[in-house]
Amino acid sequence: MSICSYISITAVESYCTALFIANDINIFIALITQHVSTGGPHTRHRGTAGAKSDLKRRLRLQGAPLTPGAQGGLPNSPYPNGLRVTTIIGSFGTCLGAWLKVFSVPQDMFWLGFAGQTVVAVSQVFILNVPPRLAAVWFGADQVSSACSIGVFGNQLGVALGFLLPPMLVRATGTPDEMAADFRLMFYLVAGFTSVLFVFILLFFKAAPPTPPSAAADLGSSLDSNFLQSIRKLFMNRNYVLLLLSYGLNVGVFYAISTLLNQVVLTYYPGANEDAGRIGLVIVVAGMAGSVVCGLILDRTHRFKETTLAVYVASVLGMLIFTFTLDCGIIAVVYLSSILLGFFMTGYLPVGFEFASEVTYPEPEGTTSGILNAVVQVFGIVLTLAYERMLEAWGDRWSNLTLCALLALGAAITAAIRSDLRRQAAQNKA
């Protein structure tokens, strides 16, 4: 390959990745702005406080059954534009849902906002698991883990911006008309951004480079992909089943903590609502850094099991530190322990994706990550409900220690996974 061709392909892969990351950010802004704004201002504007937790759970319930099909079928279908079609569907759905929310501002139109959020939640199914597939299709063997981690970084950045935007755009107090105007402005901004991005995705996002970037990608693209057959093979793969359990426990615990973080923090720091929100943001931002760092480590070392286990054990330690520093009376210490917790628990996301791709190769990355995320939604719902009940019955200390025990179980399961790096073996044979 000539240097000019290499530069051209590198420019295209960077552009397509940038478009996907922007779309990832876009979807999670659309989700989280509604998620966060269902707090104080939204409750005062609509009088719908009871709908908040129902909305959170419904978002996960809507995604779980659709995730494997959406991410397993289209990105790995026999059609050459599967990855492009998946991304376009996700972008269009986000755009449509964002515009529905624009017209949901009147107090009697909450149902329309709920419908818009449902459309966005379903649309995220088509995007959430694209990073490992996009990385495998577009990037070489020494870049694939970093590319996957940057894709995960995109959705975390969307979550972070979703936390930041509502307090900046929607005043906490004011007349109903003033608050309605603030909500309308926020929804118009998000809808405008989603519309521009949808047009760019439609015009410029490409399904694959002209030539496979690695031997493993070349071999994977040449194999027939039958979705149901892939599902059967995956569930007969001992290593993958163990990874499903350990991944579900880790991310499910993270969902439980992040969903009920305000309640836990306010137990020891009454009135610190803003601090509780900022601690949530700190966890997300630390996780963004953790995702990228873990991806770089994987690309540099190719030690997938060792990295996965180390990050898992660090997550257990981070959760223990968070548990025993909550009641110290110094909220700055809680901020610091939250950084540690977020860095490793969110940093585990791309590591789990990439380890799954390694132990299941040549099964399609979209299918493996789709099942991972479907399992995570189920674990997230169950553990969040259980954590909520435990907090009511036992208080935060014993509830958090129970979550620590679940993470320790996940680490033990991870240790039982064999380091069967099939994708690396295929690359080395070439």
pLDDT digits (tens, 9 = 90+) for 103-116: 988 878 888 888 88
Q: Which residue has the higher pLDDT, 395 or 227?
A: 395
Residue 225 confidence (pLDDT): 57
CB 298 within 8 A of CB 351: yes
Lowest mean pLDDT among 180-194, 227-241, 356-370, 382-396: 356-370
Q: Where in the chain is the domain with CATH 1.20.1250.20?
A: 1-37+80-208, 226-429
Q: Which stretch of DSSP H or E encloses residue 386?
A: helix 365-394
pLDDT in tens, 325-361: 998 989 999 999 999 999 999 889 888 888 988 898 8
Task: With CA atoms as reference, report the closest residue to 148 among 127, 124, 123, 130.
Answer: 130
Highest mean pLDDT among 45-49, 111-115, 306-310: 306-310
Residue 6 confidence (pLDDT): 34
* Average pLDDT of the residues of the chain: 77
pLDDT at 123 over 60: yes
Q: Which stretch of DSSP H or E encloses residue 420?
A: none
Q: Predicted confidence band at 78 (pLDDT cuts at 50, 70, 90)?
A: very low
Q: Predicted confidence band at 163 (pLDDT cuts at 50, 70, 90)?
A: low
Q: Which residue has the higher pLDDT, 57 or 268?
A: 268
Task: With CA atoms as reference, report the closest residue to 120 among 103, 99, 106.
Answer: 99
How many C-beta atoms lie closer than 10 Å to residue 48's C-beta?
Answer: 16
User: Mean pLDDT over residues 240-269, rounded?
Assistant: 91
Candidates 2.40.30.10, 3.40.50.10420, 1.20.1250.20, 2.40.110.10; CATH matching 1-37+80-208: 1.20.1250.20
Positive or negative, the CA dihedral 250, 231, 128, 58 is negative
Q: Which residue has the higher pLDDT, 277 or 9?
A: 277
Q: Give the global pTM.
A: 0.75
Q: Which residue has the higher pLDDT, 290 or 62?
A: 290
Q: Tell me the DSSP string of 272-332.
A: -HHHHHHHHHHHHHHHHHHHHHHHHHHHHH--HHHHHHHHHHHHHHHHHHHHHHGGGS-HH
Burial class of residue 211 (count of CB atoms within 10 Å of its CB; 0-12, 13-18, 19+): exposed
Residue 25 confidence (pLDDT): 52
Residue 208 in 3-state DSSP? coil
Using CA atoms, how far residue 167 sits from 27, 47, 81, 181, 403, in Å, is 19, 18, 40, 14, 31
Candidates 1.20.1250.20, 1.10.10.10, 3.40.50.300, 1.20.1530.20; CATH matching 226-429: 1.20.1250.20
User: Mean pLDDT over residues 376-390, rounded?
Assistant: 90
pLDDT at 3 over 60: no
Separation of alpha carbons 98 and 22, rounded Å: 15
pLDDT at 320 over 90: yes
